[in-house]
Amino acid sequence: MRIGKQDNAVTSICTSDATSITVRGLDLCDEVIGKLDFTSYFWLLVTGTMPSGPQKVLADAVLCAIAEHGLVPSVVATRMTYAAAPEAFHGAVAAGLLGCGSVVLGSAEVAGRFYAEVVTRAEAEGISPTEAATAAIKELRAEKKAIPGFGHPQHSGGDPRAHRLLAIAKEQGVEGKHIAMLHTISDVLPEAIGRSLPINVNGAIPAVMLDAGFPLGALKGISLLARTASLIAHLQEETERPIGFIMSGAAAERIGFEASE
């Protein structure tokens, strides 16, 4: 049984023969290994083009910004999985990445799609960014949905990572319609919902990366790549100073039992 289109059986990423490996038009051994940094290689793999100077700076900054933030759910899942199955290092990493969703870690993708839709709406309907943002926010609130990329349980006074990424984008001359829309949404929030909310890192990441030319469809990949590095670090620490079972025990102590009726 055939599912989906069957008429485009090609790839433009990599090919190889008996003596060489070619990735995005470059010889892996002669032109990439030892000559190209990993962030540039990541950009090349995803987009098919080498990053400009500003694009590389922003990609580097974003990957550093989202890689680590303490014992967040993805890290807890990874360390507890490794404690239970130390033979499955890869499984422990996967356990953490599987939690990359719309609330934690993967929310940059949700925010990016929202900003892109509001930008498109303003252009398509011939209305101002402020009008488009206000209408979109009210629609979210009517459905009792959060505003993507805003608010943080710890950094209520403002996410320092977001501030830094937006500052770097300005320094690099990469401030386009998505960053502008991010600020517009921030400006209209007090009137639209009755209070202001700080821009969080998952609001800054998509705005910065989309204006830098990174594809919308690959936004979640940024968080996955960055957090993988962090999860490996936590697993290495777990082998030396294990806390997986300590976290499990703390959860058992903290969560009470309530009999079902």
Residue-wise pLDDT tens digits, 236-260:
999 999 999 999 999 999 999 999 8
Contact 235, 89 (CB under 8 A): yes
Residue 106 pLDDT level (bands cut at 50, 70, 90): confident
**In the structure encoding, which two tokens stand for residue 99, read together?**
């939690």
Tell me if 117 is assigned to some domain.
Answer: yes
Q: Mind listing the pLDDT tens digit for each residue in 192-209?
A: 999 999 999 999 999 999
Average pLDDT of the chain is: 95
The 10s digit of each residue's pLDDT in 143-153 is: 999 999 998 77
Residue 76 included in any domain: yes
Residue 44, in any domain of the structure: no
pLDDT tens per residue, range 153-204: 777 778 999 999 999 999 999 999 999 999 999 999 999 999 999 999 999 9
Domain assignment present for residue 9? The answer is no
Query: The CATH number of the domain where 62 resides is what?
Result: 1.10.230.10
Is the four-CA dihedral 113, 117, 118, 123 of positive or negative sign? positive
Instruction: Please provide the size of the chain in residues.
Output: 261
Main-chain phi, psi angles of 149, to 5 degrees: 90, 10
CA dist., res. 54 & res. 63, Å (int): 14
Q: Is residue 33 part of a domain?
A: no
SS3 57: helix
**Percent of the chain scoring above 70 in pLDDT:** 99
Give the pLDDT score at 9. 87
Which pLDDT does position 89 carry in this prediction? 97
> DSSP state, 199?
B
Domain count, the chain: 1
Within a domain: 24:
no
CA distances from 221 to 63, 93, 184 (A): 10, 15, 26
Question: Full-prediction pTM beyond 0.95?
Answer: no
The pLDDT value recorded for residue 110 is 94
In a domain, 116, yes or no: yes
Q: Tell me, what amino acid is at 172?
A: Q
Bridge partners, residue 21, by sequence: 16
Q: What are phi and psi of 251, to 5 degrees?
A: -65, -40
Asked if residue 5 belongs to a domain, the reply is no
pLDDT at 135: 96
Tokens 């967040």 belong to 72
Q: By residue range, what is the domain housing residue 188?
A: 52-246
